[in-house]
Amino acid sequence: MDTVAKILLVEDDQDIADNAMLFLKHRKHNVLHVTSGLDGLEQLRYGKFDLAILDGNLPDMDGLDVCKTFREEGGTTPILMATGRSDSSEIQKGKDAGVNAYIIKPYSLADLEQNVGALVPAAP
């Protein structure tokens, strides 16, 4: 079976990343994992992804800054922001920065699947 989507996962928590990668790969997605915002931004700039899942709180560059910079440079890859920040003002900041959808940590794999399915077009 062909992979469904090429997904960039930008997550510095290895346990969360391992669980998400295992789940997404089981769903036949091709997943590239990086642990820093700068690496994530570089991958977004030069790679071709169907979706990026960005941690909101990265050690070197905030996920919102990654998204905002990428959008200002003309990037169009859909972005799912995974964050523990759930207040409406933070979510609005993300929308203003170009985030397509939010998933609140800790998230269930069912929530992850639903969000990925909503942001990635179905395979033919």
Q: Is the pLDDT of residue 4 over 50?
A: yes
State in words which class domain 6-117 has. alpha beta
C-alpha torsion 95→101→106→108, nearest 10: 170
What pTM does this model have? 0.93
Residues in Cβ contact with 109 at an 8 Å cutoff, skipping those fewer than 6 apart: 19, 23
Residue type, 106: P
Average pLDDT over residues 81-108: 91
